[in-house]
Amino acid sequence: MAGVFGHPGYSRFWAADTVSTFGTYVTTVALPIVAIVTLRATDAQVGLINGARWLPYLLFGLLAGVVADRYRRRPILVATDVARAALLALIAALALTGMLNIPALMLLVAVFGVLSLLYEAAHQSYLPRLVPPAALTPANARMEQSASLAQTTGPFLGGSLVAAVGAPLAMVVDAVSYLVSGLLLATIRRDEPAPRPGRRHLGRELREGLSWVYRHPVLAPYAVTLHARFLFASVASTAFTLFVVRGLDPRLAPDRAAFGLGVVLAVGGVGAVVGNSLSHRVGRWGAGRAIVLERVVEPLGWTLMALAATGTAGWVMVGAAQFVVWLALGVSGPNEMGYRQAVTPDRLQGRMNGTIRSLNWGMLTIGAPVGGLLAEQIGYRPAIGLAVVGMAVAATVAVLSPLHHARHPEPAPEPAPEPAGRN
């Protein structure tokens, strides 16, 4: 697996992704605390703020895929990284000066979502230009291992920073990480194909991307069950964050509970690291089996969270639950990305990723507000329980579909040696 770093440009691509991912987990803890503590948002308002982050994926996800296929991808990555750094710095400044309110935060978070949408459509489509198809699974595994390592330390760092200096200043760390990521990506020296010349028809390009995903015998059930997984996981995760900050340990103030949230998410990161280390081995059974395994195991972890006690025992239970959920996601992630990148032609990479991600993350636009509303109306545990039922239905569909037959492409055979010449 170490051989993937021998491909030109991959090391800097990996380093940029690793740096920005570390920072992102700081904001994962800090942003809800800005809403809950600084702006005194209700449960429903927290859900709406979370939903605003993902609304652009639902509205513009398909267009982002077209952009990633029409234009060179590295400049998109650099520009969106720098812009996101500036936007996070602006949110922090407004919060520190008392000029931030809930509508303004929702607007800024939505703009951040547009930038992230463009970045991710280009990011997932750029990797196949750096490594060959047979190396995509280990290349994705390396990146997910780094992301998992970031998850083990980023939330802990985020919780510690929030407790020490406050949520707004903690978000500045993420702003710096995006700036560093953009600078690293700008230094990659790898030629990209020039955009295709001539007139292009937007509607035809959109239909082509949709058709490739939803008429493919394996990508179709994969995408549909993944969309459902994102919908119900967003309901559960919104209720879970509120549960940990407000209901798991009534002895703690919300800003102190944020430190505990960071620790719990870090335990999930340990599970993801373990899962990533096993992903290549499990993938030998078939990419589809690794994906189906995740669909089945994840609702079990969320069930444990819904059943968590309060106080110290509750912290242990939610930590164990996070470990189980992220262990399953860690096993599946590299296999998912490696498979779908390998079976998709380069000219469709942006639209394939944009199509799948637009509805994946667009589901958060629906699920996050629903999760906040359910938490407010029926309680944190019942809201998580309802989400578990939905995940279980999606898992059943995945088990019964052709998805479990998916296999990674075989590595290209070594060229035959040249015959020895006659003396």
User: Where do the H-state alpha helices sit in 97-166?
Assistant: 102-126, 136-165
Residue 96 pLDDT > 80: yes
Dihedral of alpha carbons 160, 164, 169, 172, sign? negative
Residue 63 inside a domain? The answer is yes
Residue 39 inside a domain? The answer is yes
Of 418 and 136, the structure prediction assigns the larger pLDDT to: 136
Residue 90 pLDDT > 90: yes
Residue 195 inside a domain? The answer is no
Residue 98 inside a domain? The answer is yes
Q: Which residues span the domain enclosing 37?
A: 7-188+202-405
Rounded-to-integer distance, Cα 117 and Cα 112, Å: 9
Residue 418 inside a domain? The answer is no
pLDDT at res. 345? 82
| Mean of pLDDT values over 299-321 | 85
pLDDT at res. 300? 92
Token reading at 342: 């390998």
Kindly report whether the global pTM for this prediction surpasses the value 0.95.
no
- DSSP string over 55-113: HHHHHHHHHHHHHHHHS-HHHHHHHHHHHHHHHHHHHHHHHHTT---HHHHHHHHHHHH
For 385-411, give the secondary structure using H, E and C. HHHHHHHHHHHHHHHHCHHHHCCCCCC
Residue 170 inside a domain? The answer is yes
Element (H, E) at 277: helix 254-283
| Mean of pLDDT values over 99-115 | 90
Rounded-to-integer distance, Cα 423 and Cα 421, Å: 6
Rounded-to-integer distance, Cα 202 and Cα 198, Å: 13
Residue 116 pLDDT > 60: yes
Distances (CA, A) of 37 to 182, 251, 253, 375: 31, 16, 10, 18
Residue 346 inside a domain? The answer is yes
Residue 198 backbone class (left: φ over 0; alpha: ψ -120 to 50; beta: rest):
left
Residue 348 inside a domain? The answer is yes
CATH number (domain holding residue 142): 1.20.1250.20
pLDDT at res. 423? 35
**Total structural domains in the chain?**
1
pLDDT per residue as tens digits for the range 143-197: 877 877 776 777 677 777 777 777 888 888 889 989 999 999 999 887 776 666 5
End-to-end CA distance of the chain: 41
